[in-house]
Amino acid sequence: MGYIIGFLAAILFGSNGSVVKLVLSEGVTAAQMTFFRATATMIIAGIVLLFTDRSAFKITFKQLLTMAALGVFGVAMLQWFYALAIARIPVGIALLFEYLAVLAVAVIARFVFKEKVRARLWAAIALVLVGLAVVAEVWNSSVDGLGMIFALIAAAAYTVYFLIGEQALKGMNVLGMTFWAMLFASLFWAFFSGWQNMDYSVFAHQISLSGSLAAIYVPLWVPFLWAITMGSFVAFYLSFKALSLLKATSAGIIASSEVIFAFIVAWLWLGEALSFIQIIGALIVTAGIVLAQTSRQGKVVMDLDLAATTGTVPVTKNKFQP
């Protein structure tokens, strides 16, 4: 059952990038989408905590400052730059670039925190760098350069989220950390997203689902609601449910399959096809990600929606109880 739940979470995460891209194409800005997703996740997490663990609302001043940094520099920046990236480059390619954060965290753990890492990390780095060069087709610059820059900045924010989140989890539960981080991300974008200037009647407009589903029309609020619920909090919860049922390394490898699902959904739905050589590059990167996921002894990077929900939280198996 754990494998089924894990793959379901990966499918939700992988498909959510295409859903977000559809919403962005209808005039909702990346900043506004980030604000709504952070706010929705914060509200849902808060409601769940209200009935399950009210003690999570009580945190120290130091934890409050940590959550503020996590929410702004990790969550808010990650979500915004990812949304900017997928507006310019294919969803799957953006994800591949963001997964550089997995390598960055392992390297920082080795040289800054002096953690033991397995030798496979260096092979993982080589595979990912070579694979990314192939996917980006650096020899003819076929992928939008600014889009790749946005994805790389998102990867940097993603790394910040990993590092702060891992330390924060030592004194907080996952859902509590999610609530507080989303609260600060929401507050940040409340000032800068321009949500109050939106024409909310746009959500009632009938839109085409585009690509292979172009003949189907639905109100904009349908994909929007999916993105902020099923593609965000639900997928997040399923990831940790899977982690509670599986070994950490198994859960991490399954989470990495999000990249593959993102490519498949974007290809079948939006027609974001890769060339044969890019497919080879994507497979090389995925292999490197799997190696990197298992390079830190006893730890795993769990994906919690690179398509921009809560970012990703690094956890160990005993850190979460369903």
Per-residue pLDDT reduced to its tens digit, 262-301? 888 999 999 988 888 989 988 998 888 888 777 766 555 5
Does residue 319 lie within any of the structural domains? no
Number of H helices, E strands in the chain: 14, 4
Instruction: Reply yes or no on whether the pLDDT at 306 is more than 50.
Output: no
In total, how many domains does the chain have? 1
> Predicted confidence band at 50 (pLDDT cuts at 50, 70, 90)?
very high
Determine what percent of the chain is predicted with pLDDT higher than 90. 42
**223 vs 18: CA distance, rounded Å:** 10
* pLDDT tens by residue, 229-255: 998 888 877 876 775 676 655 655 676
pLDDT (0 to 100) of residue 221: 96
Is residue 289 in some structural domain?
yes
Q: Range of 269's domain?
A: 2-311
**What does the pLDDT average to over 53-61?**
93
Model pTM score: 0.81
**What average pLDDT is seen over the chain?**
83
Question: Both ends of the chain: CA-CA distance in Å?
Answer: 14
Side-chain-side CA neighbours of residue 295 (13 Å): 25
* Cα–Cα distance measured from residue 302 to residue 5, given in angstroms and rounded to the nearest whole number: 14
The answer as to whether 320 is a domain residue is no
Please give the single-letter amino acid code of residue 13. F
Coil, strand or helix at 238: helix
Q: Highest mean pLDDT: which of 128-137, 212-221, 235-244?
A: 212-221
Q: For residue range 150-189, what is the model confidence (pLDDT) as tens digits?
A: 999 999 998 888 788 777 777 788 788 889 999 999 999 9
Tell whether 89 is covered by a domain: yes
Is 234 contained in some domain? yes
Looking at the domain assignment, is residue 316 inside a domain? no
Pairing of strands 217-219, 206-208: antiparallel
Answer whether residue 318 is part of any domain.
Answer: no
Q: Is residue 39 part of a domain?
A: yes
Mean pLDDT of 80-102: 88
pLDDT at residue 304 is higher than 50: no
Residue 161 identity: Y
